Amino acid sequence: MTQTIQVKEISKAAFVDFGDVIDTSGAPDKIINQGLCGRFHDRAKLDFTSGRAGVSLFKAEARSLPMALQMVERHPEGSQLFIPMSEHGFLVIVAPDENGTPGQPKAFLTKPGQAINFHRGTWHGVLTPLSEPGLFAVIDRVGTGANLEEHWFDTPYTVELKNKKTGTGIAKAS
Amino acid sequence: MTQTIQVKEISKAAFVDFGDVIDTSGAPDKIINQGLCGRFHDRAKLDFTSGRAGVSLFKAEARSLPMALQMVERHPEGSQLFIPMSEHGFLVIVAPDENGTPGQPKAFLTKPGQAINFHRGTWHGVLTPLSEPGLFAVIDRVGTGANLEEHWFDTPYTVELKNKKTGTGIAKAS
């Protein structure tokens, strides 16, 4: 029997156990550049137990919903931050850890202008843009040694929007 | 007498003394996620003599050309990386250091999909998007103590495109 995961709008509250939602909601922490720029300061928990922070670009193929979720992965040595270099939301899948394996996954849709930082060791799906160009800047650990665990589900999940016909009507995060 | 700076297309070669141009030109270093994603690995020289790397968002007002360049600044304690969260190029102004003050500034226009990392201590203009939304993720130093030097020019420069009428015809970087 296929299990279904319904995509919900992301919110900082719903995502707090998994990572940071980084956006310009609320007031800037500082106004700089003679009043022409707002700085929203130090919004991600960068966390590396070995190696160092590095900046890479990821260019990923756009997917469409519904889609099968076959696996999640995690990086025990470091956080991983995804910054979209386009004005599109993207799909974010995470799962709580239950004694070393992922529990029930959750699927979120971000809004344009939001970056997502997975806290160190958080189970997550691979980068899943839903639109071209699928280009992201990624801040994650650069270093030697193993930093990837994968978990393949016995039965893949199906990730879908609430309203399959219109593609709209995304449920609010509970 | 007003001095004019002509905007040129950015290139890695023209920018090498000032910082990193980060994009997906050339082949990815690694293909990940079951063939669906290219990783362009570790492309920025993050360099902090004190404090640590932090992630902030900058929301800046879009400017238009020609514009006056009144000042440049530099951060002696850290590099500063600008990642556009939209598919627009932006204006990048830098200047060589000449015994503690900036020499002749240069102005570059980036292409969509390019991020720019100013090396530590590089004289540069403030963040200057030329299009809305002017939203950038910024990786720079988070820490205490002074990390900003400003230099105001006695006579402002005028920064302009080669072909003022059409806004096109940007000169190649020499």
Chain A residue whose CA is closest to B134: A37
Q: Which of residues 108-147 of B touch A (CB under 8 A)?
A: 113, 115, 117, 126-127, 133-135, 137-139, 142
Q: What is the DSSP string of chain A?
A: --EEEEEEE--HHHHTTTEEEE---S--SEEETTTTEEEE---S---BSSSEEEEEEEEE----SSEEEEEEEE-TTB-EEEEESSS--EEEEEE-EETTEE-S-EEEEPPTT-EEEEPTT-EEPPPEESSTT-EEEEEEEE-SS---EEEEEEEEEEEE-SSTTTS--PBPP-
State percent of chain B over pLDDT 90: 90
Closest CA–CA distance from residue B97 to any residue of chain A (Å): 21
pLDDT in tens, chain A (174 residues): 679 999 999 999 999 999 999 999 999 999 999 899 999 999 999 999 999 999 999 999 999 999 999 999 999 999 999 999 999 999 999 999 999 999 999 999 999 999 999 999 999 999 999 999 999 999 999 999 999 999 999 999 999 997 655 555 566 664
**Chain B residues close to A86, C-beta within 8 Å:** 85-87
Mean pLDDT of B136-156: 97
The CATH number of residue B150's host domain is: 2.60.120.480
| Domain total of chain B | 1
Chain B residue whose CA is closest to A23: B57
* A53–B85 C-beta distance less than 8 A: no
- Beta carbon pairs, A and B, within 8 Å: 143
Q: What does the pLDDT read at residue A162? A: 77
Q: ipTM more than 0.85? A: yes
Q: What does the pLDDT read at residue B102? A: 98
* A58–B37 C-beta distance less than 8 A: yes
Query: Containing domain of residue A49, as a range?
Result: 3-172
Arithmetic mean of pLDDT over chain A: 94
* B86–A57 C-beta distance less than 8 A: no
pLDDT in tens, B63-119: 999 999 999 999 999 999 999 999 999 999 999 999 999 999 999 999 999 999 999
Chain A residue whose CA is closest to B44: A55
Model pTM?
Answer: 0.94
Whether residue A38 lies within 8 A of chain B, CB to CB, comes out as yes
